[in-house]
């Protein structure tokens, strides 16, 4: 910060009230400025920069003000944590500005409000003494109020006080972009003192460690600096990294905390998704281009901060950022990992080893969970001390033990502690087992199933399996969540800490020294031995084999005969490949108790005949040779999912009784069944939620599909022989999504407007669909309409009846005009008409439109009313688009309200104007701002 004057000597009140207002503030910053001087330049740039950092800023946009400051403005000042005053040359000529200043200084005295002056092209001493050009503007005000000497003196005192505060001087910080950046960064730091991070249960003992790591990051390192945080699972690496990130991220031009790198990277396309997220965060660009070289070139101009959390191998970081050579000197990279070798391989400058919490901090963390306060309850001090001996200062262990003992009587505590004493090797896993031992048998089985098979899986699918296993998952999972043994993520996935997963698997390993007598298998070497040498027993309940990790397994026909309790069988391949489990006779397979059967590349044409019809709930046979389903499967009453992805030899139509009896069916996925031409008649299967027939050769749907009264989703993508849909489809009142992408559909059934719940209608690449002669008045819920690549020659006027429509995709069609009724689509935010080469004009468009893409519309001439009332527009024009003088005037007028941006095929984006109230973009392909613009100045580049 460039300090231009010493802080005033006035002291802040020490009352509690001084802290109340900032903590309850509606705004982070109140911006005080004279509009005529800075509204369209410095003030607007500053407001935009504050908004980009998610700093809630009040700015008064009124062009015409009265003599008296309004009550609402007074309230806004009082409701702000910080007041930022832009002293410009004409500031003191405005009574309004000076009254704002009086109120700001009153709030400083009464509420300890932070006040920061910015001296914009004026000298602080001139403001303090009302001299120079600043004094000239004050003299004009004196003429108006010469009879009110008291008021004038009050203003003089206020100017003197404010100008004595430490602030920023524009003449000392050049260019203005640097001044804006320094002001914003200073405000972020001041806000951190006003709204300090709440020291919740997760942050005990963090402050000293944060200071240590911050010192290791060191400002003396001018090049790119990498720091590793290393330690066992549950020791608090992620917590510390987050605290560091939150404290210093504002010092960098781009920052990203990339969490769970290990888990996310093993998912299909996981590393690519992580890289896209990383670039998007660092560049502050939600629409970052997939051109990696270009994106990293842009990054090379920014000082950035990255945290890679939970990295398990060198290749993960290498795949995400390649080399440190991409980054600007001064950038910082932090890596958390349990594997020290990862840090050595990456060549980090310093490895910070996470150690257990000191006793006092450990006791506080435990107490927060066990007693809901910072210290033990009277009478529990000695018991708590004994728990500390076994928890060994590991934060996760302390939390789990605290949650386990919360609200329990002393006798339970003593029993638990005595049990701890009986543990020969008091490791973290054994300590956490105390929480496991507190579960009943059903809850224990759920915990072990999750630890061995289901970590990261969808909770609803898992619950169906657990329910079929008789484990009462609704209450069981709730108990496990309450005991901090599992977590349900925001995207409905079951997750658990690695330490707890190791605990569950260790419990299974300790069931027997003989692998065949254990209940669950997940390690390929153990499974290979048991299956190859027929060592299975009645103890085995679940097998989960990654076939990509074995060369081949030749199964004995009687391999599964002894496994009479087998509930879960999954042969999958993390790397797409052929089935490696060979068995000579499928009829000998015994799966009477199986609830979940997944077999990648199942080698036979029929399923085993003895699958129990009342127990199997999930059947997945991707890349299999199945031609028909067995009679036992056809009559299942509980089957929830049938997935036959890419069953290319599926030649026979399923038995007519199949769908009639699958009353619990959730998913029927016949993806890739290219020879399946028809489905049997369907009777009411009340709980069906999805039918996916992607890529089949199906030619028609049975009229009885209208019986599926609860059907939510119908996917007929790439059914290239499907030309019509039965009118009975319109009976499906609950249907929310129809996908006909790439089908041969020629027209939609009538009355499709009866589908009042329909949210998504995807007709992309339906080349045979020439027009949409439909009344849309009943599609009240339709939100997304995809008509890309359909060769449509005419759009119906009834398009304007889709009152809920938000996104309309019309690219690559043959219509000449868009109906005038589109103006009635008040919720429409995106309109894409690129490559509509016959489109001649655009009508007046809805005022809330956010995204308009009209690239390569080579005959587009009219833009009637385009810029009349936009709040935010991303508008893409064809490179050869010719504007007549009238339209040029429209575009130039729009520059008063939105940003103009010129781009050279997405390689370079340049800002023309940044106006805070109406932020948006007009994008014109090409290297330069068109010559016909009256102003050719470029204020910045990205």
Q: Are residues 650 and 676 in contact, defined by beta-carbon separation less than 8 angstroms?
A: yes
Q: What is the CA radius of gyration of the chain?
A: 34
- Count Cα atoms within 13 angstroms, Cβ side, for 483: 23
Burial 7-25 (b: 16+ CB within 10 A, else e): ebeeeeeeeeeeeebbeeb
Backbone angles phi, psi at 216, to 5 degrees: -70, -30
Count of CB atoms situated within 10 Å of the CB of 913: 19
Count of CB atoms situated within 10 Å of the CB of 103: 20
Please identify which of the residues 78, 89, 100, 443 carries the catalytic annotation: 100
3-state SS track over 723-774: CCCCHHHHHCCCCCEEECCCCCCCCCCCCHHHCCCCCEEECCCCCCCCECCC
Helices and strands (H and E) in the chain: how many: 29, 36
CA–CA dist 815, 260 (Å, integer): 48
Nearest to 709 by CA among 663, 641, 640: 663
Q: Are residues 221 and 349 in contact, defined by beta-carbon separation less than 8 angstroms?
A: yes
Token digits of residue 779:
């599609």
Nearest to 868 by CA among 851, 843, 885: 843
DSSP state of 789: T
Q: Are residues 374 and 367 in contact, defined by beta-carbon separation less than 8 angstroms?
A: yes
CA–CA dist 93, 83 (Å, integer): 20
| DSSP E strand stretches across 199-241 | 225-230
Q: Which residues pair with 784 in a beta bridge?
A: 760, 807
Please write down the long-range contacts of 181-184, taking CB distance under 8 Å and 24 or more positions apart.
Answer: 181/49, 182/1, 182/2, 183/46, 183/49, 183/84, 183/116, 183/118, 184/46, 184/49, 184/50, 184/53, 184/55
457 Cβ partners below 8 Å, 6+ apart?
493, 494
CA–CA dist 870, 868 (Å, integer): 6
Q: Are residues 357 and 250 in contact, defined by beta-carbon separation less than 8 angstroms?
A: no
Q: If phi over 0 gives left and psi between -120 and 50 gives alpha, with beta otherwise, what is residue 494?
A: beta
Q: For the chain, give the number of residues.
A: 942
Count of CB atoms situated within 10 Å of the CB of 421: 10
CA–CA dist 359, 365 (Å, integer): 10
Pairing of strands 899-903, 553-555: unpaired
Active site residue 100: yes
CA–CA dist 418, 721 (Å, integer): 71
CA–CA dist 742, 722 (Å, integer): 10
Nearest to 694 by CA among 722, 715, 725: 715
Nearest to 120 by CA among 89, 159, 93: 89
Q: If phi over 0 gives left and psi between -120 and 50 gives alpha, with beta otherwise, what is residue 410?
A: alpha
DSSP string, 448-466: HHIIIIITTSBHHHHHHHH
- For the chain, the straight-line distance linking the first and the last C-alpha, in angstroms and rounded, comes to 25
Kindly list the catalytic residues. Answer: 100
């Amino acid at each position: 910060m460039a300090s231009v004057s010493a802080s005033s000597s006035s002291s802040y009140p020490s009352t509690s009230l001084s802290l109340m207002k900032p903590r309850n503030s509606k705004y982070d910053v109140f911006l005080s400025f004279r509009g005529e001087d800075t509204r369209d330049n410095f003030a607007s740039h500053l407001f935009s920069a504050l908004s980009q950092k998610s700093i809630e800023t009040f700015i008064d946009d009124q062009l015409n003000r009265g003599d008296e400051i309004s009550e609402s403005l007074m309230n806004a000042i009082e409701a702000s944590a910080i007041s930022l005053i832009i002293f410009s040359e004409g500031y003191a000529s405005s009574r309004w500005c000076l009254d704002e200043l009086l109120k700001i200084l009153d709030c400083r005295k009464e509420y300890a409000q932070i006040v920061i002056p910015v001296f914009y092209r004026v000298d602080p001493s001139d403001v303090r003494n009302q001299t120079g050009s600043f004094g000239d503007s004050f003299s004009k005000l004196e003429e108006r109020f010469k009879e009110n000497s008291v008021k004038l003196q009050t203003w003089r005192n206020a100017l003197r006080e404010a100008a004595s505060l430490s602030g920023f001087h524009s003449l000392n910080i050049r260019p203005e972009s640097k001044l804006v950046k320094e002001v914003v960064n200073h405000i972020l730091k001041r806000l951190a003192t006003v709204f300090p991070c709440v020291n919740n249960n997760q942050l005990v003992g963090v402050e000293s460690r944060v200071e240590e790591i911050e010192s290791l990051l060191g400002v003396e390192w001018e090049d790119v600096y990498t720091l590793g945080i290393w330690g066992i699972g549950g020791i608090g690496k992620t917590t510390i990294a987050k605290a560091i990130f939150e404290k210093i991220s504002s010092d960098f031009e781009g920052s990203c905390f990339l969490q769970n790198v290990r888990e996310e990277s093993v998912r299909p396309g996981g590393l690519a998704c992580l890289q896209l997220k990383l670039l998007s965060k660092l560049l502050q660009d939600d629409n970052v281009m997939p051109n990696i070289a270009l994106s990293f070139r842009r990054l090379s101009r920014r000082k950035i901060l990255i945290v890679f959390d939970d990295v398990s191998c060198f290749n993960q970081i290498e795949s995400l950022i390649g080399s440190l050579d991409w980054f600007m000197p001064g950038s910082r990279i932090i890596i958390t990992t349990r594997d020290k070798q990862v840090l050595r391989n990456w060549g980090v400058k310093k490895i910070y080893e996470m150690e257990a919490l000191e006793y006092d901090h450990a006791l506080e963390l435990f107490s927060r969970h066990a007693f809901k306060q910072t210290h033990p309850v009277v009478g529990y001090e000695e018991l708590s001390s004994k728990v500390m001996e076994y928890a060994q200062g590991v934060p996760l262990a302390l939390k789990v033990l605290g949650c386990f003992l919360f609200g329990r009587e002393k006798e339970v505590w003593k029993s638990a502690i005595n049990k701890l004493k009986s543990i020969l090797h008091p490791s973290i896993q054994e300590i956490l087992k105390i929480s496991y031992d507190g579960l009943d048998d059903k809850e224990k089985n759920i915990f072990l199933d999750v630890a061995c098979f289901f970590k990261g899986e969808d909770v609803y699918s898992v619950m169906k399996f657990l329910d079929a296993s008789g484990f009462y998952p609704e209450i069981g999972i709730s108990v496990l969540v309450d005991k901090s043994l599992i977590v349900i993520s925001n995207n409905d996935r079951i997750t658990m800490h690695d330490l707890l997963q190791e605990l569950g698997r260790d419990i299974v390993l300790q069931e027997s020294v003989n692998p065949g007598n254990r209940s669950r298998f997940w390690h390929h070497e153990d499974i290979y031995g048991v299956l190859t040498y027929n060592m299975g027993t009645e103890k085995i309940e679940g097998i989960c084999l990654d076939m990509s990790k074995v060369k081949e397994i030749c199964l004995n026909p009687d391999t599964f005969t002894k496994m009479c309790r087998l509930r879960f069988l999954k042969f999958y391949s993390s790397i797409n490949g052929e089935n490696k489990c060979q068995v000579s006779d499928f009829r000998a397979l015994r799966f009477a108790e199986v609830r979940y059967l997944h077999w990648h590349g199942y080698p036979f044409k029929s399923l085993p005949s003895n699958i129990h019809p009342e127990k199997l709930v999930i059947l997945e046979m991707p890349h299999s040779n199945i031609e028909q389903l067995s009679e036992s499967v056809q009559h299942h009453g509980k089957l929830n999912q049938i997935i036959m992805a890419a069953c290319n030899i599926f030649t026979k139509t399923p038995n007519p009784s199949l769908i009639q009896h699958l009353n619990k069916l959730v998913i029927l996925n016949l993806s890739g069944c290219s020879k399946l031409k028809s489905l049997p008649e369907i009777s009411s299967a009340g709980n069906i939620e999805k039918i996916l027939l992607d890529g089949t050769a199906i030619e028609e749907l049975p009229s009885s599909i209208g019986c599926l009264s609860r059907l939510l989703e119908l996917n007929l993508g790439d059914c290239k022989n499907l030309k019509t849909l039965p009118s009975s489809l319109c009976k499906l009142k609950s249907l929310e999504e129809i996908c006909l992408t790439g089908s041969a559909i020629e027209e939609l059934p009538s009355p499709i407007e009866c589908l009042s719940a329909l949210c998504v209608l995807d007709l992309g690449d339906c080349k045979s669909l020439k027009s949409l002669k439909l009344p849309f008045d009943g599609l009240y819920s339709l939100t997304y309409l995809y008509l890309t690549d359909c060769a449509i020659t005419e759009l119906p006027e009834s398009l304007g009846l889709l009152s809920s429509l938000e996104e309309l995709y019309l690219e690559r069609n043959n219509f000449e005009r868009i109906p005038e009724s589109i103006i009635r689509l008040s919720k429409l935010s995106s309109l894409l008409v690129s490559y509509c080469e016959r489109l001649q004009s655009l009508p007046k468009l809805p005022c809330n439109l956010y995204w308009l893409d009209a690239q390569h519309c080579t005959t587009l001439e009219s833009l009637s009313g385009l810029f009349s009332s936009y709040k935010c527009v991303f508008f893409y024009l064809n490179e050869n688009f010719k504007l007549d003088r009238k339209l040029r005037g429209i575009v130039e007028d729009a520059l008063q309200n939105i940003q103009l941006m010129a781009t050279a095929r997405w390689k370079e984006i340049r800002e023309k104007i940044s106006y805070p109230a109406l932020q948006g973009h007009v994008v014109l392909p090409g290297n330069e701002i068109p010559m016909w613009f009256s102003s050719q100045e470029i204020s910045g580049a990205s």
